Amino acid sequence: MTSRPARRQDRSSADALNDAGLAHKAAGRLDEAARAFRAALDADRSHAAAIGNLGLVLWLQEKVGVAVRCLEESIRLDPDDADVHASLAEAFLHLGRFEDARAAARQASSLAPQSLDLRSNALLCMAYDEGIGAQERLDAHRAFGADAHRAFGADAWRGAPAAPKRPDRAGDPDRRLTLGYVSPDFNRHSVARFFAPLLRAHDRPRFRVHCYQVGERDDGTTTALRASADDWTDARALDDAALAERMRDDGVDIAIDLAGHTAGNRLGAFARRPAPVQASWLGYPDTTGLAAIDIRLADAVTDPPGTERWVTERLARLPRPLHAFDPDPDAPAVAPRPPGPVVFGSFNALPKLSDGTVALWSRVLQEVEGSRLLLKAFGLADPSVREVVQRRFASRGIAGDRLDLRGRVATQASHLGTYGEIDIALDPAHYNGTTTTCEAMWMGVPLVSLRGDRHASRVGASLLAAAGMPQLIAEDADAFVAIAASLARDPERRAALRGSMRDRVASSPLRDGVGLARAVESAYRAAWAGWCAEGKR
């Protein structure tokens, strides 16, 4: 007779503790959040939300293995929680379980088919999966775009309806244009490192720059970006419809998405066509799939002729490299490497460690006797994750004592300082680095990259060409191994590169924000002129 009231009381207590844990998590108090979620589970062991939330906190604390077990238990208790399936997909990517990640992401999408965020998450998972071909990726992105436009009453194959013209938005191809940049990453994030040089260098008599902040985190980078913009809208509280309406009210002529299908994107706003011309750049290495986005910025290396068929946007190739970046102003000086065994390295995220990349890097280690590989990435502080990575390399003949696996470090200075322990950086083959590549070069570390068959696997080639080091670009796996081995056996050449590379990068297009701005503005102006011409027909 008393069991049911007691059960209700336990459930009520667990709910309250779960809510407290969420509040602690939102405030960044992860230890307190974990304690609250554990207390909720003490009150009710079957509280699926509490165990799932505990898993997310443990994930943020880089306790990946136990976090995965919590997420799997949460799904066992509540198999219809789409968000937990999506979180598990991300965790599987870090463990190299790409097929499991794909299945979890698809399950999340099937449970909440109307969620654009979960659809984006599934597409992002595909970007890391080398088992998925170009046609399958394109079809999945097109399906996303068609469904997104259909949800807002637009015909995806004809293109979403253009924003209505107003007197102040007349089709004058030469007037000053308002640019609207939308990003969840206007903070200390890789995107900001490449966006800031463009933002500062825009030609303000010809372009007014309005930034829409949709990410939760504020920091010093946010403050600096805000100071460089003409207008700034904190749009975090606006849903996609309200954000689109706000951009229309602000008179945005060209809206630029900087996120693609990465976390926190607002493609739902772009699907509503808030601006006459819309573009995609920087944050995502593939098409958006949205017919409402007109152009995708690229260069001749990242997207050479013939790649137009793999994107739904029109490729606007810049006559220069696609990127310019801001190095950390507090980066330590480049230090010479002491004599000793060669150390290869990569600080890229673990989801980029595809099976093909493991195989390729293992060949390099086998070719260079006595060499070692230093990997530093989120998740490697967890012994269970290190064991997974060791097993993956062991299957390719590389013993665990040749791997130095490290998790995140406390400060940016420590992170950059770790490049001082590396002789040669290796670029992931399927999904290249971008920030890590620029950081490596800035810290004097030469990088070897394999030119692939899609944008994500050609960024390294673009960056190396921009830095004047095309000799480090490999056209096939054999050449990659040969270039890395040749460099490993030539300490004098490595020392010369280490001593000169920062100056090379500093004088290259990678530090030319003004040149990038002029090229990007020309692409914008051409797209705007095309829209004006259409209106006159």
Burial zone of 97 (CB within 10 Å; 0-12 exposed, 13-18 middle, 19+ buried): middle
Q: Which amino acid is at 254?
A: I
- How confident is the prediction for the chain on average, in pLDDT? 93
Residue in 493, 498, 471, 492 with CA at minimum distance from that of residue 482: 471
Residue in 170, 157, 124 with CA at minimum distance from that of residue 283: 124
Q: Which amino acid is at 378?
A: F
Residue in 157, 223, 155, 156 with CA at minimum distance from that of residue 187: 223
What was the pLDDT predicted at 536?
52
CA–centroid distance for 4 within its chain: 48
Q: Calculate ∠ Cα 535-293-143, nearest 5°.
A: 125
What was the pLDDT predicted at 7?
44
Q: Half-sphere exposure (CA, 13 Å, Cβ side) for 320?
A: 19
Q: Calculate ∠ Cα 38-53-409, nearest 5°.
A: 95
Q: How many residues are present in the chain?
A: 537
pLDDT band at 170 (very low <50, low <70, confident <90, very high): low
Buried b / exposed e over 107-144, threshold 16 CB at 10 Å, is: bbbebbeebbbbbbbbbbbbbbbbeeeeeebbebbbeb
What was the pLDDT predicted at 114?
87
What was the pLDDT predicted at 365?
98
CA–centroid distance for 276 within its chain: 27
What was the pLDDT predicted at 169?
54
Instruction: Report the pLDDT averaged over residues 390-412.
Output: 96
Instruction: Report the pLDDT averaged over residues 7-14.
Output: 65
Instruction: Report the pLDDT averaged over residues 137-147.
Output: 95
Question: Are 472 and 479 spatial neighbours (Cβ–Cβ below 8 Å)?
Answer: no
Instruction: Report the pLDDT averaged over residues 128-137.
Output: 95
Instruction: Report the pLDDT averaged over residues 142-157.
Output: 76
CA end-to-end distance (rounded Å), the chain: 79
Q: Is the pLDDT of residue 384 over 70?
A: yes
Percent of the chain residues past pLDDT 90, beyond the cut: 89
What was the pLDDT predicted at 156?
39
Burial zone of 20 (CB within 10 Å; 0-12 exposed, 13-18 middle, 19+ buried): middle
pLDDT band at 111 (very low <50, low <70, confident <90, very high): very high
For 231-279, what is each residue's pLDDT tens digit? 999 999 999 999 999 999 999 999 999 999 999 999 999 999 999 999 9
Q: Is the pLDDT of residue 75 over 90?
A: yes
* DSSP-assigned beta bridge partners for residue 180: 210, 255
Cα(295)–Cα(515) distance, rounded to whole angstroms? 20
What was the pLDDT predicted at 10?
60
Residue 156: how many CB atoms within 10 A of its CB? 22
Question: Are 490 and 291 spatial neighbours (Cβ–Cβ below 8 Å)?
Answer: no
For 436-455, what is each residue's pLDDT tens digit? 999 999 999 999 999 999 99
Q: Which range is least confidently modeled, 158-172, 194-208, 463-477?
A: 158-172
Residue in 120, 114, 117, 91 with CA at minimum distance from that of residue 104: 91
Q: Is the pLDDT of residue 179 over 70?
A: yes
Q: Can you read off the two tokens belonging to residue 399?
A: 């013993």
Helices (H), 78-203: 82-94, 98-111, 116-128, 134-151, 190-201
- CATH numbers and ranges of domains, the chain: 3-133 (1.25.40.10), 167-324+513-536 (3.40.50.11380), 343-511 (3.40.50.2000)
Q: Is the pLDDT of residue 537 over 50?
A: no
What was the pLDDT predicted at 152?
74
What was the pLDDT predicted at 141?
97
Using DSSP's 3-state secondary structure scheme, residue 65 falls into: helix
Question: Are 118 and 86 spatial neighbours (Cβ–Cβ below 8 Å)?
Answer: yes
- Interacting residues of 253 by C-beta distance below 8 A, sequence separation 6+: 169, 177, 178, 179, 275, 276, 277, 528
Q: Is the pLDDT of residue 155 over 70?
A: no
Q: Is the pLDDT of residue 288 over 70?
A: yes
Instruction: Report the pLDDT averaged over residues 458-482.
Output: 98
For 314-345, what is each residue's pLDDT tens digit? 999 999 999 999 999 989 999 899 989 999 99
Spatial strand order of the sheet with 424-426 comes to 403-406, 372-376, 343-346, 424-426, 447-450, 473-474
Q: Which range is least confidently modeled, 145-154, 155-164, 420-429, 485-494?
A: 155-164
Q: What is the DSSP string of 206-257?
A: TEEEEEEE-SS---HHHHHHHHHSSEEEE-TT--HHHHHHHHHHTT-SEEEE
Torsion angles phi and psi, residue 435, rounded to 5: -60, -45
The pTM assigned to this predicted structure is 0.93
What was the pLDDT predicted at 1?
32
Cα(536)–Cα(3) distance, rounded to whole angstroms? 75
Cα(249)–Cα(252) distance, rounded to whole angstroms? 8
Q: Can you read off the two tokens belonging to residue 63?
A: 């306790």
Q: Is the pLDDT of residue 464 over 50?
A: yes
Between these two residues, 2 and 101, which has the higher pLDDT value? 101
Helix axes 64-77, 82-94, angle to 10 degrees: 150
Q: Is the pLDDT of residue 126 over 90?
A: yes
Residue in 349, 346, 352, 344 with CA at minimum distance from that of residue 452: 352
